[in-house]
Copies of this chain bind each other. A is one copy, B any other.
Amino acid sequence: MAARTRRRSGEPERTRRDRDASPPLPELTAPVEDYLKAIYELERAGEPAATTDLAVELRLAPASVTGMVRRLAEQGLLMHERYRGVRLTAKGRRSALRTLRRHRVIEAYLVQALGYGWDEVHPEAERLEHAATDDLVDRMAMAIGEPTVDPHGAPIPSRAGAVEEARYRSLADLPVGAIADMMRVADEDPMLLRYLADLSLTPGCTVRVVERAPYGGPITIEMKRQRRLIGPALAERVLVRPHRE
């Protein structure tokens, strides 16, 4: 595949108002898109992304990451400080966001238009995001009413590359008595997602923290008069927006 997406022509055409219109994004290979996406996610924590973390995330040998990082730096997609990690450039961030948009629109479409479960869409989207054109993704988004979040509550970047990364809190951090709306699951593990669905703990629902056992014990929540026990590992993955005050 790599070979067939190789650019054969010269420089891409640059037309009117290139100063503010973002330059046309070149076609990237699937691995490159995966790297940029992973770096984007790691960087959201604030620090530059370490190559080792990248290797873990992408399930590659660290040495392979080093090689690719060098090439991406040459292409101006990221800045690399030896032994310090990598940061995306503006160009790299735009590419990452475009891929993220594709991924999340596809996930939303599969759920809303084709009846997939929210636990099934991740791998499918992972494959399609590299093959779908922006046009197709836009049509999918339109067909399901321009959603702003994917099935797991993750925000969908706009066509222009704007994202609103809301800073939610983890259910694990709420004090007893707090009431909050569930907004997002920070995990794609199918088992975990199915379990959450079984509990009816999905984005949009409202929960109240009834009790917290100390020392990493379970959290008791109430939703629609039903009480549930949630382990701390699970609660940590559930992101919520507490009601004001």
Binding site for B on A (CB under 8 A): 1-2, 4, 29-31, 110, 113-116, 124, 127-128, 130-133, 135-136, 139-140, 143
Contacts and interface: CB of A to CB of B under 8 A. Distances in A.
A114 B139 contact: yes
Nearest to A114: B139
- Secondary structure at chain A's binding surface: helix, strand, loop or mixed? helix
A127 B31 CA distance: 16
Nearest to A5: B1
A133 B110 CA distance: 12
Give 8 nearest A-B pairs by CB, closest first: A1-B1, A131-B131, A127-B131, A114-B139, A128-B131, A1-B30, A124-B136, A1-B2
A132 B128 contact: yes
Contacts of A130: 1, 131
Nearest to A115: B139
Q: How many copies does the complex hold?
A: 2
A162 B122 CA distance: 31
Contacts of A132: 127-128, 131
A150 B113 CA distance: 20
Nearest to A133: B124
Contacts of A133: 124, 127
A1 to B, nearest CB: 3
Contacts of A30: 1, 4
A53 to B, nearest CB: 20
A4 B59 CA distance: 11
A128 B124 CA distance: 12
Contacts of A131: 127-128, 130-132
